[in-house]
Amino acid sequence: MKLTVLVDNSTYIDRYFLAEPAFSALIEVDGQKILFDCGYSDIFLRNAEKMGIDLLHLDHLVFSHGHVDHTGGLEPLMRTFFEAAIEGRSHRRPKVTAHPDVFTTRTIPGIGEIGSSVSAEKLGEHFSVNLSAGPVQLTERLWFLGEIPRENDFEAKSPLGMLKGEPDWILDDTALVWKGEAGLVVITGCSHAGICNIVAQAKRVCGEERILDIVGGLHLLAPTPRQLAGTLSSIQSLHLPALHACHCTDFSSRKALAEVAPQQEVGVGLVLDYD
């Protein structure tokens, strides 16, 4: 599996790309191309073009959850495919996989809409859409984890804004997992469900206990002492060969994580290869 970071809060060392507080990654595995999230704006397209990456031939488009820093690039992507069709250029429209809540309006009082500006109905006019609360096998070795059970007592304990008139517990938050011969690579967007809950779900779905790497946002932004301690203990118990925490993981949390796992540099332009 090859994973390329197209959007993150920073760029990789000596790589001159654009960054924003958002996330997007391209995964190439089993002969297929999967775009995981599309950031806040169109910079994932601009970065991909500079990297020589073709995003007009995608097999899957997968969303980790519905917040705008992961879905905001959807409109530019839809326009890109529209223009290709109008101009007669070769393209392959992806199949969209997401939780049913991803395209639902969500708000924060005083701020307003913080979710996708594109509805599931409108998106369905452009791409094939599969909304699933359960796990979905995307390729031979890559899974969409579906809704994550909230099992431990230290993660996902506070709602964020409102969804359908109720406190939003961000139940749509999910991740991808790749199963290699030596273990699993978990690829997250924001980990609102809790990275430890996500890892537990990945193990269940794949029937594998070994974790090779975790890549993506861990939603450790000024975490409570209880959440940080629980996360550090759980991460340490995994005996990870590598950890690539980024996006919504603050400096203090990454510093603490580096004490229990081999935290690596992450940014736009980073390419990871797994056998």
What's the pLDDT at 127?
A: 98
What's the pLDDT at 92?
A: 98
Question: How far apart (Å, rounded) are the C-alpha atoms in residues 150 and 202?
Answer: 13
- Residue-averaged pLDDT of the chain: 97
What's the pLDDT at 209?
A: 98
What's the pLDDT at 129?
A: 98
DSSP secondary structure code for residue 18 in this structure: -
Residue type, 57: H
What's the pLDDT at 31?
A: 97
**What's the whole-model pTM score?**
0.98
End-to-end Cα separation, the chain, in angstroms: 7
What's the pLDDT at 234?
A: 98
Q: Alpha helix (H) ranges present in the chain?
A: 43-51, 68-71, 74-87, 120-123, 195-206, 225-238, 251-257
Using an 8 Å Cβ cutoff, are 1 and 142 in contact? yes
Q: What tens digit of pLDDT does each residue of 66-76 get?
A: 999 999 999 99
* Cβ neighbours around 48 below 10 Å, total: 20
In which band, very low, low, confident or very high, does the pLDDT at 96 lie, cut at 50, 70 and 90?
very high
14/170: higher pLDDT: 170
Q: Which strands make up the sheet holding 183-188, listed edge to edge?
A: 136-137, 142-144, 175-180, 183-188, 211-217, 244-246
Q: What is the mean pLDDT of residues 108-122?
A: 96
Instruction: Report how far apart, in Å, the C-alpha atoms of 231 and of each of 172, 210, 212, 215 are.
Output: 21, 17, 17, 15
Q: What tens digit of pLDDT does each residue of 34-64 get?
A: 999 999 999 999 999 999 999 999 999 999 9
Residue ranges of domains in the chain, CATH in brackets: 2-273 (3.60.15.10)
Q: What tens digit of pLDDT does each residue of 144-163 get?
A: 999 999 999 999 999 999 99
Question: How far apart (Å, rounded) are the C-alpha atoms in residues 46 and 159?
Answer: 34
Q: What tens digit of pLDDT does each residue of 224-266 get?
A: 999 999 999 999 999 999 999 999 999 999 999 999 999 999 9
Question: How far apart (Å, rounded) are the C-alpha atoms in residues 67 and 171?
Answer: 12
